[in-house]
Structure 1
Amino acid sequence: MGPKVRIMRKEENKAIVSIQAWWRGTLVRRTLLHAALRAWIIQCWWKQKLVLLMENRRRVALDAFARQEWAVVKLQSWVRMWCIRLRYLRLLHAVRIIQVYWRWHSCHTRGFIQGHYDLKENQLNLQLEISLGSQACRVQQCIPLPIKE
């Protein structure tokens, strides 16, 4: 082997080594790219899981808040209803007292009218009782109704 052959072999070896280095670098870069893609996929999945977890926590907190607000509103409405009912009952009691005295006064000074009626087939039966102090008057009357057949 001559010096030219050795030089060519050295150059070939350098070329072979550089091709091998390039190929190994390509393989390493490809492997790193695949690893980075897989890591990115795992990170995306984990971020989605965290978002779902936070959304569930938010929903639970919102539901608890809504239930608490509903309970407060319901309790307030019951208390208001109770207060209004008490006021209504006091007023009703006062009205009944006034009515009793007014009716007693009306019966003893002016009198009153009571009565009822029955509607049967083609006649009206009317019964009235009129009281004026100690005097009483009863009226009964049957009124025929003109019904065309």
Structure 2
Amino acid sequence: MRLLVVCLGNICRSPVAEGVLRARIAASTLAGQIELDSAGTGDWHVGQPPDRRATANAAEHGVDISGLRARQLAADDYRRFDWLLCADRANLRDVQARAPRGSRAQTALLLDWVGIEDDGEVPDPYTGGPAQFEHVFQLLDRTADGAISRLRREYRL
């Protein structure tokens, strides 16, 4: 099973989601069975590490995302991944609009896919402060639990 988490710039929401999911999956019976990555729909931050506030907040919770680097969603991602899981509706629309012919990946809102909130969005903390980054971390932490439950249930992993 291959999952790609997508947000706008790949420096806040999606790298935190990737980091939390990686940590939870590594500590579960799913270890070694899930391929996970993150990307952004925009190219502004390609090659850069996650936002320092996201990195610091994740580290406060024992999740190290400092080694991740931003990348932009690529045409190959639509063939390589099973699911493209988007942080918000704007990202979902962009991901769906860019789908190349012959795409195999399915698309969904991340919170909807894990069963936390139908049509729910992960808010972008980029223009906010520590409280917004903490809120996003807590939401993505719950998301990781939902993802593990779904993967175990639906894919018998």
TM-score class normalised by the smaller sequence: under 0.3
What's the TM-score, normalizing by structure 2? 0.17
For the pair shown, the structure with the greater C-alpha radius of gyration is: 1
* Structure with greater helix share of residues: 1
Greater strand proportion: 1
